[in-house]
Amino acid sequence: MSRGILFVLSGPSGVGKGTVCAALRRKLPELIYSVSATTRAPREGEQDGVNYFFKSRDQFRHMIETDALLEHAEYVGNYYGTPRDFVEKTLSEGKDIILEIEVQGALKVREKFAEGVFIFLMPPSLNELKQRIVGRGTESQATIDHRLSVAVEEMNLLHHYDYAVVNDEIELACNRIDSIITAEHCKRERFLGELFQQLEVANTADNI
């Protein structure tokens, strides 16, 4: 059985990663979605191992120390991270897994998991991204300016990724990601091992 592929979906804040990932879950239910570990308390209805792996701060620190996380970050007093063993287990079962994550986290994952396929979700244009950030209409001008400059910085990280997918329409973006998944499974490297095995058998048995 051939190994699965880790796909990392990232992109600047405001580009619509969560929306696209939710649509992708409906379109590709066979794809496994990475479950994060967190020290935050479970909310009503949240299940351990489904929404998050809920951990104590001690447990989480132990995971950091034993390199059990592909990346982690602290956010409003809680830790969040990507458990390596869940990703590894899924891949070794021959299943693909997708991880939706902000750009800094994605770069950390790349360091530990260079064989992953990194997809950068892009706005149709910088101007469009500006409109989306401003358009929420709930934030002060200073906050908007800050978010915009962060987004522009994040856009500059595109060159660390393998693919760029324009999020002009959610369905189109999902179709592009679906195509990338299919194409990655057609990469020549994934066939060479199996083919040489067949050729070996053919030559040895002289049955072809």
Give the one residue of 17, 110, 132, 176 binding its own copies; rule: CB under 8 A: 176
CB nearer its own copies, residue 64 or residue 201: 201
Please pick, from the candidates 164, 169, 171, 193, the single residue that binds its own copies as defined by CB under 8 A.
164
The reply on whether position 179 binds its own copies by CB under 8 A is yes
CB of 192 to its own copies, least distance (A): 6
Burial code (b: 16+ CB inside 10 Å, e: under 16) for 89-107 equals ebbeeeebbbbbbbbebbb
How many residues bind its own copies, per CB under 8 A? 37
Compute the distance between CA of residue 119 and CA of residue 41 in angstroms, rounded to an integer.
31
Tokens of 167: 């999020």
Instruction: Classify each residue of 128-146 as buried b or exposed e, where b means 16 or more C-beta atoms within 10 Å of its C-beta.
Output: bbbebbeeeeeeeeeebee
CB of 8 to its own copies, least distance (A): 13
- In the list 68, 73, 107, 155, the residue contacting its own copies (rule: CB under 8 A) is 155
Angle between helices 141-155 and 126-135 (to 10 degrees): 150
7-40: buried (b, 16+ CB within 10 Å) or exposed (e) per residue? Answer: bbbbbbebbbbeebbebbeeebeebbebbbbbbe
**Per rule CB under 8 A, is residue 122 in the interface with its own copies?**
yes
- Residue 190 sits in the site that holds its own copies (CB under 8 A): yes
42 annotated binding-site participant: no
3-class secondary structure for 55-96? CCHHHHHHHHHCCCEEEEEEECCEEEEEEHHHHHHHHHCCCC
At its nearest, how many Å lie between its own copies and the CB of residue 139?
Answer: 16
Q: Which stretch binds its own copies (CB under 8 A): 5-13, 27-35, 93-101, 180-188?
A: 180-188
Residue from the set 56, 66, 127, 141 that interacts with its own copies by CB under 8 A: 127
Residue 94 labeled ligand binder: no
Q: What are φ and ψ of residue 72, in 5° steps?
A: -155, 160
Q: Is residue 165 at the binding interface for its own copies, with CB under 8 A as the rule?
A: yes
Please give the radius of gyration of the chain, using alpha carbons only, rounded to the nearest integer. 20
Write out the residues near its own copies by the rule CB under 8 A: 119-120, 122, 125-127, 130, 148, 152, 155-156, 158-159, 161-165, 175-176, 178-180, 182-184, 186-188, 190-192, 195, 198-199, 202, 208
Residues marked as binding for ATP? Answer: 11-18
